[in-house]
Chains A and B, each alone.
Chain A
């Protein structure tokens, strides 16, 4: 016998992780509890909107940030409820956001450019969108691949250490409790990652030597 659906309080919803929240929303939908489902979605968007907006802000001209953020959030939520992936929600959201940013630079996001035609001073004489050179630089997109390359050689546990200690800002002691690695080992894993990342970034920033340019050889 199926358990009847129970609408959770604000506090109970806040205590759920993303996957529990998504399951709650699906149960609410199955029980035709529209208000509960809607409120769950509000919490989901509340939790992640600023993260997506920050990811987009790094790479998209300011006046188009909200458009790309909107499209990424909507696409991720709809595809999640359509069952199109099995990733954790925040990971899927990151994938979708990167795709939206890449689409923008590939010129597929024509509607965004159309929207911008209303903005005075944002176009050059030929009607092309005028944006800062730096924000269009491909290196920002290549950075994702570079980080992934450096991380790819790490074991799952070392990646977790890096996520928590380097990116998350937890102390070595806290990461030790979470992962079982000693605090000293946590520090060493993090240091090796930072050193390799720095070396890879320096190599990427270095201008290619004339010998390596196929057009001059």
Chain B
């Protein structure tokens, strides 16, 4: 049988991972004073104001939540922000139900750079996270992405124009906030760094950085 502490720990973890959690799923597993104690602990946790760590995909899902849309409308705010790659690409990928690894594989094939998936993944990661200069991305990349996630080239281009990569020095502040949070933030792998043998400028760099 689960103890109060086990259930409280499980609730806290679930809340930090997915946000929308029903406390009754945990409260209903105990009774009497144990239930009251678990309820008190959950109350105390919620009163500390646990906030969600920012995550592009979660933020996109939030903006599509009917409750969020109603709350925002009631305070005079349109639910959806102007699209950027950071909001459009994860949402489109999710809608198309394509894992990032598969998208990268298809993108590399469509661009004629099969075998260079790791480097393509790094650049795609930077597109989703707004750290790649939009103007330097070749139209060929947008055309290939358009076919994969079923979003028009024009819409992709517009979303890219609205996205300015963070200025130098901007990222450390974000990194500090993540480090200070009790929520584990998992950066999608692979990261933007290319391995040593991929350092040389090649056709992949040309596609994503050559304009």
Residues of chain A whose beta carbon lies under 8 Å from any beta carbon of chain B: 9-16, 18, 35, 38-39, 41-43, 45-51, 53-55, 57-58, 66, 69-70, 73-74, 77-78, 88-91, 93-94, 139-140, 143-144, 146-147, 162-163, 166-170, 197-198, 201-202, 204-205
Contacts and interface: CB of A to CB of B under 8 A. Distances in A.
A13 to B, nearest CB: 8
Contacts of B147: none
Interface stretch (B33-41, B95-103, B117-125): B33-41
B172 to A, nearest CB: 9
B182 A169 contact: yes
Contacts of A10: 54, 56, 84, 86, 130
A144 B51 contact: no
Contacts of B42: 54, 58
A35 to B, nearest CB: 7
Interface in B24-60: 24, 27, 32-33, 36-37, 39-54, 56, 58-59
B51 A167 contact: no
Contact of B130 (A9, A91, A146, A170): A9
Contacts, number: 164
Given A15-B173, A42-B63, A9 B164 contact: yes
Contact of B182 (A45, A57, A77, A168): A168
A210 to B, nearest CB: 21
Interface string B55-70: 0101100110101101
Contacts of B67: 49, 53, 66, 69-70
A48 B49 contact: yes
15 contacts: A10-B56, A11-B166, A14-B174, A16-B177, A42-B63, A43-B54, A46-B52, A48-B49, A49-B65, A51-B46, A54-B20, A57-B24, A197-B37, A198-B37, A201-B33
